Amino acid sequence: MATAAVKATDSRQRFIDAAIGLFTRHSFAGTSLQMIADELGVTKSAVHHHFRSREELLTSVVEPMITQLRTTIETAEAIRGQHARADRLLTGFVDLVVHHKSLMSVLVSDPGVTEILRTHPVLSGLIQRQTKILADVEPGDGGQIRASVALRGIAGTARSDALNVDDDTLRQHLLEAGRRTLGLRAPRRAH
């Protein structure tokens, strides 16, 4: 990569990191591009050079999560066997929500964010594919409802601040809870 491109990527990431910090402290609704400029000691037009609007910045903030979700779904979909496929999806989903729990907590409490994500061009399709992988474990309404309880329960628990446990403990118990809800047995370990 040319030096100029490296620099552009670096400064773009600095804006994203500053935005996440400000969203956490002031919510998405309470954060302006001017505040991001002030935080980094640059002009507002420097921020505008990378992000034309707060919405565009938000998309950049959630893009890594969406990429991780897509990878998880594609990895799972490539596996033969409904139970193994569902278990792979569940494991990846738990990793994702635990890894991004603070950011998710900030974002879902923000009605402006919820609306932007609801109309995101690829996110709703990914969520449908993800739900289908889990719902396929059991045909009919029961499978649909269990998939929804598992996904919503895991995401809601990961981003709540009611629990005082480390990430590994959280990940392990969320995975176990999801497997129980869906009726999946923990896979035997490979030798």
Residue 25 or 152 having the CB closest to a second copy: 152
Residue 75 or 148 having the CB closest to a second copy: 148
The minimum distance between CB 169 and a second copy, in angstroms, equals 5
Cα–Cα distance measured from residue 16 to residue 18, given in angstroms and rounded to the nearest whole number:
5
Tell me the two tokens of residue 135: 């719902």
The minimum distance between CB 24 and a second copy, in angstroms, equals 16
Cα–Cα distance measured from residue 123 to residue 109, given in angstroms and rounded to the nearest whole number:
18
Cα–Cα distance measured from residue 133 to residue 141, given in angstroms and rounded to the nearest whole number:
14
Cα–Cα distance measured from residue 22 to residue 15, given in angstroms and rounded to the nearest whole number:
10
The minimum distance between CB 40 and a second copy, in angstroms, equals 28
Residue 55 or 176 having the CB closest to a second copy: 176
Cα–Cα distance measured from residue 90 to residue 87, given in angstroms and rounded to the nearest whole number:
5
Q: Contact positions toward a second copy, by CB under 8 A? A: 109-111, 114, 141-142, 144-146, 148-154, 156-157, 160, 162-163, 165, 169-170, 173-174, 176-178, 180-183
